[in-house]
Chains A and B, each alone.
Chain A
Amino acid sequence: MSLTDTKSKLRQLKTASIPLTQRKTASINSAIIETSLKRIQQDADFRSKIFDKIRALTGIEDVTLAHVREYFAQSLRTESPKKSGTKKTPAAKTPKSKKSNSKQSTRKTES
């Protein structure tokens, strides 16, 4: 087995050892980030607001998409205050919140 094959196999094993819920959450978070980055590129108003927010938070003048991606990733790792209203707090590094491993009920028709 070549070094590349071994690395690939190790990566597969590592992925397989992550619980399904965590993988699902990671997949959903990744989809949110990618979709929001796409919106950044298409929606000038949204882009301007996000860039301003990152400038205000970090002091970085020359904000790039890489900064935005990192800001989004941090936001998804952050637990906001309990009594949230219209204003959200800036992203800060906090431990990941626990996610449930619940699945959808089989009920189809009504409550």
Chain B
Amino acid sequence: MPTMRGTDRYEDNVFINCPFDTQYKPLFRSAVYTVYDCGFIPRCALELDDSSQTRIDKIEELIEQCKYGIHDISRTGLDAANRLPRFNMPFELGLFLGAKRFGDERQQAKRCVILDKEKYRYQMFLSDISGQDIKSHGNEPRQLTGEIRDWLTNSSGRPTPGLNEMWQRYGRFSQDLPLMLAKTKVLLSEMTFNEYRLLIQGWLKVNTL
């Protein structure tokens, strides 16, 4: 199992560029779990807490450290509160593709998967990426798990567990999660990304047979 932070594990690091809102959480949690169960390290902006760096610096550093990227552009619609479009995810996708295009040899080896809730919807708002193979998750965690698992297997050439086995294991992990949180006296609503990573990492060490 890879170490939690993984700053020096470029080949194992997977940048997750996705929304962090409550409605997206079931998808986010399954994505983070899947990356770990496939033997990689999930990285995202939620792990960063350094006031000496600007936000864009942190994200650029994160992207630089990750060979792989999962970009979910399914929530690029209007924000419910201010009725303005959400640009962060397409912007970070652009940064990732820019690093791959203009970076050094290591950066050019980057691989990514772009996900939306429907397969061809992106053509209406991000036509510049037309021609790329966009995957859809249909807002379903299991479908998202399958897409991530298949993409990681194909793009890395590494063996990963089958979808059915992984999904069953995720079901057991999800059952155990509230119990583990109760023992650590942390509520599900206050669980941080780093706590979630530690729990997945440890749980998989003990429960993967």
A: residues with CB less than 8 A from B are: 24-25, 27-36, 38-39, 46, 49-50, 53, 72, 75-76, 78-80, 82-86, 88, 97-100, 102-105, 107-111
Contact = CB atoms under 8 A, between A and B. Distances in A.
Contact of B20 (A24, A32, A83, A107): A107
Contacts of B83: none
List 5 tightest A-B contacts by C-beta distance, closest first: A104-B192, A85-B159, A31-B183, A84-B39, A100-B5
Given A82-B2, A107-B46, A110-B86, A50 B209 contact: yes
B49 A105 contact: yes
A104 B208 CA distance: 27
Given A31-B184, A111-B44, A111-B45, 6 more contacts: A28-B198, A35-B176, A75-B206, A102-B49, A105-B193, A111-B19
A104 B89 contact: no
B180 interface: yes
B106 interface: no
B101 interface: no
Nearest to A99: B4
B98 interface: no
A15 to B, nearest CB: 15
A97 B126 CA distance: 42
Determine which residue in A34, A39, A110 has the highest number of CB atoms from chain B within 10 A of its CB, and name it. A110
B3 A105 contact: no
B164 interface: no
A54 to B, nearest CB: 11
B205 A111 contact: no
Contact of B1 (A35, A46, A79, A105): A79
A34 B49 CA distance: 30
Given A86-B160, A107-B20, A27 B184 contact: yes
B202 A29 contact: yes
Contacts of A38: 179
Interface string B1-39: 111110001011000111111000000000000000001
A78 B204 CA distance: 12
A100 B17 contact: no
Contacts of A50: 209
A110 B159 contact: no
B5 A32 contact: no
Contacts of B123: none
